[in-house]
């Protein structure tokens, strides 16, 4: 799920964040202990060969291929599906069962796991007004005498008699490593009233999580499977999709992949979409879509934007943003490998379909007037969803166990790319007022930091608000701080080496930390680990300072019988010291400004290795103010209000402290949803 920015007349800005919801702990199985997922070893070095595309893998191993046909009845909002699944046991162990995700059943009634869990600070609604479900009619394995295995499948999700989204299918005999099977499937489904990425609103249909989908099989032979709930997203094997979509011929369709052909018969139209090297498929259909087409800047990607009437400017912005993003992300994280990209701007009232991503298909959103407000909301949601083509699509991490690897890294990529495009005003520009995404994301990151670690499974977050602030905002702030301290190009190179090396694979936190260790350094990698796993924090503060007119030293120096010469006076007429403190386990070197009464500003570097340190001061006039981190490079600093101190006797105006303490953040702190 993706973040969707919205502007309101009263507030002006809202941090588009969080989308999903958080289950209550009572509704879920006990989450995996953090110790079980924290990396204990660093992988072998990746190497500089992955700093560009030359060594990058061209294609993944094809594990699960889907050849499907979907027939949509837009009047009844029903769909009949059938086809075959070609599945390969790519693990090291024989497999005697399959796990199948039927996520559309999350909307079946108000007792499903999805429905039992309150939204509690994230996207979605607390109740479905029109229920939806999927009913499998056939699940037959050709290599096992064509036997329909669905009657013998489990009826509910493990340990949850009220949920039918995670189903085990026993096999008559094991599938050996390297062997493949073909499963013939057929199913019927009722789409829900539009909610949480799927369903209908009048004639508009967005169809996601709509087919029986085999869960991801890990190399050791166990399936990573989980029931459908608000905060957890998707995790699947790569393969090829060949999907024919049958709708009335008045409907405009957008889908994953490239359009291979159309057949019109008796008022209906069949469209065949094909895409290799992906791990999901979604589509939309509506007779109200308008269409804008174009090409990427290099001419290699066909672009298509579907939008409702009145949103022409939004469509233009989305097209411009995607062109920019394909170039920026391609250079940073490896080229986009597909021939098409479709953007879908849902109609008014269909925000539940907005701000989402599937391979080669993203949804955006926003009111018609947002492009004219000065806030980059349409640009931001578009670049965020486009970023997911890398951080979910190409680097296929487990979004259930490690959501920060998906949403967090992508939120960093979003803010980084928007800042490159709109320096200083990546969130909004109103006349001379400019606000960055970094400034907007910081408050939520700080406020929620004590609540939970960033690096934990989705079900472990107590609320949707915690999930949104920690997974999205805090991860981005952590990486943004590392970029500010160690260099933007260095951190961008580390993430790019990670995305290129693990393209079409399924890396975890250890792989990310290993690349940071290699590119940025061991200290930076340990800081990243502590910030993600240990709830580590940092707060810099100016404890005190003093200065006085320098005098020549007095007294006896050296051997009293043979005194040494009196030491020279301090180099400046004024001398003193500054006591600085660093609270918390995180440590970043920072700049410190020493403001003198005559207006002179000295800048010194504080390595902050110790929790408290005195810095010597000498100058031409009295020391009147001290400011830590004047450019706010440390986005994780818990309290900017103690980063500066001013001598009460000083005649300096408030500009020093205003610049150092608050900046954009003070104006935006109270505007967080």
Cβ atoms 62, 242 nearer than 8 A: no
pLDDT at 338 over 90: yes
Report pLDDT for 124.
64
Report pLDDT for 43.
85
pTM over 0.75? The answer is yes
Q: Quote the tokens at residue 349.
A: 């009232």
- Ordered structural domains, the chain, with CATH: 25-533 (2.60.40.1730), 539-671 (2.60.40)
Q: How far is Cα 559 from Cα 576, in angstroms, rounded to an integer?
A: 27
DSSP 629-640: STT---TTBS-G
Reduced to 3 DSSP states, what percent helix, strand and coil does the chain have, rounded to the nearest 5?
30, 30, 40
pLDDT at 290 over 50: yes
pLDDT at 435 over 60: yes
Closest Cα partner for 123 from 216, 2, 210?
Answer: 2
The tens digit of pLDDT for each residue in 456-484 reads: 999 899 999 999 999 999 999 999 999 99
pLDDT at 25 over 60: no
pLDDT category at 595 given cuts 50, 70, 90 is: very high
Q: How far is Cα 253 from Cα 339, in angstroms, rounded to an integer?
A: 17
The tens digit of pLDDT for each residue in 312-325 reads: 999 999 999 999 99
Q: How far is Cα 246 from Cα 266, in angstroms, rounded to an integer?
A: 12
N- to C-terminal Cα separation, the chain? 18
Closest Cα partner for 386 from 315, 326, 327, 335?
Answer: 326
Report pLDDT for 385.
98
Q: How far is Cα 66 from Cα 87, in angstroms, rounded to an integer?
A: 9
Report pLDDT for 560.
86
pLDDT at 375 over 70: yes
Report pLDDT for 23.
31
The tens digit of pLDDT for each residue in 487-509 reads: 999 999 999 999 999 999 999 99
pLDDT at 264 over 70: yes
Mean pLDDT, residues 580-593: 97
Q: How far is Cα 413 from Cα 391, in angstroms, rounded to an integer?
A: 9
Q: How far is Cα 124 from Cα 118, in angstroms, rounded to an integer?
A: 9
The tens digit of pLDDT for each residue in 622-666 reads: 999 999 999 999 999 999 999 999 987 544 434 444 443 334 443
The tens digit of pLDDT for each residue in 173-188 reads: 999 999 999 999 999 9
3-class DSSP state for residue 529? Answer: helix
Q: How far is Cα 151 from Cα 162, in angstroms, rounded to an integer?
A: 18
Least confident interval from 20-24, 78-82, 391-395 = 20-24
pLDDT category at 44 given cuts 50, 70, 90 is: confident
pLDDT at 30 over 60: no
Report pLDDT for 570.
65
pLDDT category at 41 given cuts 50, 70, 90 is: confident
Closest Cα partner for 537 from 471, 635, 617?
Answer: 635
Q: How far is Cα 167 from Cα 151, in angstroms, rounded to an integer?
A: 12
Q: What is the mean pLDDT of the chain?
A: 90
Mean pLDDT, residues 97-112: 96
The tens digit of pLDDT for each residue in 115-141 reads: 888 777 676 665 566 899 999 999 999
Report pLDDT for 40.
63
Report pLDDT for 664.
40
Mean pLDDT, residues 393-409: 96
Mean pLDDT, residues 48-66: 97
Cβ neighbors of 177 (< 8 A, separation 6 or more) are: 89, 90, 91, 92, 93, 94
């Amino acid at each position: 799920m993706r973040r969707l920015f919205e502007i309101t007349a009263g507030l002006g800005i809202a941090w588009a964040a969080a989308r999903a919801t958080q289950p209550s702990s009572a509704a879920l199985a006990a989450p995996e202990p953090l110790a079980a997922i924290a990396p204990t070893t660093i992988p072998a070095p990746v190497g500089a060969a992955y700093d560009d595309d030359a060594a990058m893998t061209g294609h993944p191993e094809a594990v699960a291929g889907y050849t499907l046909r979907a027939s949509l009845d837009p009047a009844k909002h029903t769909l009949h599906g059938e086809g075959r699944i070609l599945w390969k046991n790519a693990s090291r162990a024989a497999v005697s069962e399959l796990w199948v995700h039927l996520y559309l059943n999350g909307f079946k009634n108000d007792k499903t796991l999805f429905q039992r869990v309150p939204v509690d600070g994230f996207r979605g609604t607390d109740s479905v007004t029109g229920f939806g479900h999927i009913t499998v009619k056939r699940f037959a394995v050709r290599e096992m005498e064509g036997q329909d295995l669905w009657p013998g499948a489990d009826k509910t999700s493990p340990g949850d008699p009220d949920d039918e989204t995670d189903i085990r299918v026993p096999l008559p005999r094991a599938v050996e490593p390297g062997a493949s099977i073909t499963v013939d499937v057929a199913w019927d489904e009722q789409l829900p009233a539009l909610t949480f990425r799927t369903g209908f609103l009048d004639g508009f249909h967005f169809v996601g999580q709509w087919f029986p989908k085999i869960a991801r099989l890990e190399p050791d032979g166990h399936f990573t499977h989980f029931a459908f709930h608000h905060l957890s997203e998707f995790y699947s094997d790569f393969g090829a999709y060949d999907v024919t979509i049958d709708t009335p011929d008045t409907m405009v369709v957008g889908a994953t992949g490239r359009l291979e052909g159309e057949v019109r018969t008796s008022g209906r139209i069949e469209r065949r979409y094909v895409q290799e090297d992906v791990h999901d498929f979604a589509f939309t259909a509506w007779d109200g879509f308008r269409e804008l087409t174009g090409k990427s800047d290099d001419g290699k990607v066909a672009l298509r934007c579907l939008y409702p009437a009145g949103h022409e400017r939004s469509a233009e912005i989305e097209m411009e943003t995607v062109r920019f993003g394909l170039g920026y992300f391609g250079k940073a994280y490896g080229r986009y490998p597909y021939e098409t990209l479709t953007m879908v701007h849902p109609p008014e009232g269909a925000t539940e379909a907005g701000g989402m991503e599937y391979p080669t298909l993203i949804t955006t959103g926003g009111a018609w007037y947002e492009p004219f407000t000065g806030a980059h909301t349409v640009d931001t949601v578009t670049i965020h969803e486009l970023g997911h083509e890398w951080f979910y699509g190409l680097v296929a991490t487990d979004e259930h166990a490690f959501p920060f690897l998906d949403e967090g890294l992508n939120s960093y990529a979003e803010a980084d790319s928007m800042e490159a495009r709109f320096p200083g005003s990546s969130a909004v520009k109103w006349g001379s007022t400019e606000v960055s995404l970094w400034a907007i994301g910081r408050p939520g990151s700080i406020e929620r930091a004590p609540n939970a670690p960033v690096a934990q499974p989705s079900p472990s977050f107590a609320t949707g608000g915690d999930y949104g602030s920690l997974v999205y905002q805090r991860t981005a702030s952590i990486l943004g701080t590392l970029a500010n301290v160690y260099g933007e190009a260095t951190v961008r190179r580390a993430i790019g080496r990670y995305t290129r090396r693990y393209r079409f694979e399924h890396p975890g936190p250890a792989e990310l930390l290993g690349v940071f260790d290699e590119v940025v350094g061991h200290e930076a990698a340990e800081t990243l680990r502590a910030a993600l796993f240990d709830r580590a924090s940092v707060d810099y503060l100016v404890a005190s300072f003093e200065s006085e007119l320098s005098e020549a030293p007095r007294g006896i120096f050296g051997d009293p019988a043979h005194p040494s010469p009196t030491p020279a006076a301090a180099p400046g007429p004024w001398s003193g010291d500054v006591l600085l403190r660093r609270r918390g386990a995180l440590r970043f070197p920072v700049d410190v400004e020493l403001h003198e009464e005559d207006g002179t500003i000295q800048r010194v570097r504080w390595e902050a290795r110790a929790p408290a340190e005195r810095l010597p001061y000498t100058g031409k006039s009295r020391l009147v103010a001290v400011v830590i981190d004047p450019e706010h490079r440390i986005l994780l600093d818990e309290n900017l209000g103690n980063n500066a101190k001013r001598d009460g006797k000083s005649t300096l105006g408030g500009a020093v402290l205003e610049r150092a303490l608050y900046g954009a953040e003070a104006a935006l702190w109270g505007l967080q949803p």
